[in-house]
Structure 1
Amino acid sequence: MSGAPGEQLTLAGTVRPIVIGIGGCSGSGKTTLARELANELNATLFPLDLYYRDLSQFPLDTRHKRNFDHPDSLESELILEHVAGLSRGETIERPVYDFSTHSRVPGRTDRVAPERFVIVEGILALHYPELLPLYTLTVYVDCSHEVCLTRRIYRDTRERGRTEESVREQFHATARPMADQFVLPSQANAALTVNGCEALDWSVEAVLGDLRRRSLL
């Protein structure tokens, strides 16, 4: 039994999921792109933000001061284990993360099964070297720091109850320095770069077009 061009088979003869990694700075539009592609492709969405390390051992009023933009803030070992499992067609038990307390919900997981497409998205999705071989396609969403900051202010003041001052402070203290150090260099790992400052439809079509050229769609 053989699959279509570009598809790999498991030992059981079934087609392995196609795993797409989407990275880019916070506010670049990568999450919006990932969600739109997930709808278009009926894909399993795998946000790295759900894998922040549990901070319940620290006082509640100090947890928000942690650097959430550094690679060490994510449990990369579990990310690798789960993405590898999904790429083999396996179902995983994903942790449930409570962003209000910066901790995982004890005893709770979400069962996630892979569809034909699995989309891994996050600012560091293209950073960890161990993840790269698991991707069928890698996409980087490029956008200027100025636009990213404007979007973060809009989002966080309306959806997360933060002040513009606090958003700007965090951006300049950790988000931008970590982006310069870890996220921007990961663009070199992308097979396709799209412009997150342009219309979403163009980015979606660029990814779908690339999948078609690879005979994956």
Structure 2
Amino acid sequence: MSIFVAIVGGSGAGKTTVAKEIVGHFKEKAICLNMDNYYKDLEDGMDPREVNFDSPSAFDFELFFKHLQTLKNGEDIEVPTYSFVTYRRNSSQTVHISPAELVVVEGILVLHDEKIRKLFDLSIYVDEDADERLIRRIERDTKERGRSVDSIISQYRKFVAPAFRSFIEPQKYKCDIILPRGGENKNGLSMIMGALEKMMNHGEKKIF
């Protein structure tokens, strides 16, 4: 039976870095699933600048839950690939994922849905200052998604910051561990690795 770990936090908090650290530590024993691939396709004619991508309504929670449950049952899944250029899934390309001893799932709203929350054995909230999260978001979206700084800041004020307060930050109080500074917090990461090793070696599903 796989151990499921949720990693949540605001956009730019460092969730991906923490997930990579965990998967890198456990190597072939671990896999990572990114919730970003479960965004819904943008409808024709919709301006992405007017869409709140940090809201629960932007995600396909039904498929997300189905895939997590499938992995939990020891079966393979085909993960969609989502483009932040076209704002749609690539219908001809999926990523094949097989169950592993450790399943790491990261995203801004992984724990928003109660029935999904119940699937996890350990949950981690990556905590980072708002200014640092915004700086990282600007760096990422200008380099990787070709967006202007003005559009990023406008979206942040209109959608990202309010959604963080309403939907993302409340998950912090449902998590087993709060990890300040994300991947930079080596002591915190070391403690998490130790806890996961204990869970995997002794079959203990709840240690907090």
Q: Taking structure 2 as the reference length, what is the TM-score of the superposition?
A: 0.88
CA distance in 2, matches of 1:20, 1:117: 7
The 5 A counterparts of 1:76-91 are 76-91=61-76
- Which residue of structure 1 aligns with residue 34 of structure 2? 47
Equivalent residue, structure 1, for 2:149: 164
Let me know the Cα RMSD of the aligned residues: 1.8
The question of 1:136 aligning with 2:136 is answered: no
The answer on 1:122 being equivalent to 2:107 is yes
Match of 1:204 in 2: 189
Structure with the higher helix share, 1 or 2: 2
CA distance in 1 between partners of 2:182 and 2:79 (Å): 31
1:152 aligns with 2:147: no
Q: Which amino acid letter does the alignment assign opposite residue 118 of structure 2?
A: P
Match among 97, 113, 136 for residue 112 of structure 1: 97
Do 1:21 and 1:119's aligned partners in 2 also have CA atoms closer than 8 Å? yes
Quick one: structure 1 residues 216 and 177, their matched pair in 2 at CA, closer, same or farther if it must change by over 3 Å?
farther
Tell me: CA distance 1:103–1:198, structure 2 relative to 1, closer, same or farther (3 Å): closer
Structure of greater Rg: 1
2:205 aligns with none
Q: Report the Cα distance in structure 2 between the residues aligned to 1:65 and 1:39, rounded to whole angstroms.
A: 37
Q: What amino acid maps onto 1:59 in structure 2?
A: G
Shift of 1:103: 0.9
Identity %: 34
Report the Cα offset of residue 197 of structure 1: 5.8
Return the alpha-carbon distance in structure 2 between the equivalents of residues 152 and 98 of structure 1: 17
Matched, 1:59 2:45: yes
Counterparts of 1:167-206 in structure 2, within 5 Å, are: 167-196=152-181, 199-206=184-191
Aligned length: 200
Structure 2 Cα separation of the partners of residues 191 and 90 of structure 1? 27
Unaligned runs of 5+ in 2: 203-208
Contact residue 41 and residue 87 of structure 2 kept, 8 A? yes
Shift of 1:202: 3.1
Q: Map 1:25-36; keep pairs closer than 5 Å.
A: 25-36=10-21
Instruction: Could you tell me which runs of 5 or more consecutive residues in structure 1 were left unpaired when the two chains were aligned.
Output: 1-15
Amino acid of the residue matched to residue 86 of structure 2?
A: T
* Corresponding position of 1:3: none
CA distance in 2, matches of 1:200, 1:158: 25
CA offsets per residue over residues 124-163 of structure 1, 9 Å max, x none?
Answer: 0121111111111111111121111111122222222222
1:30–1:196 CA contact under 8 A, matched in 2: no
Give the drift of 1:196. Answer: 2.3
Deviations 1:102-135 (A, max 9, x none): 1112243222101111101001012111111111
Equivalent residues of 1:85, 1:92 under 8 A apart: yes
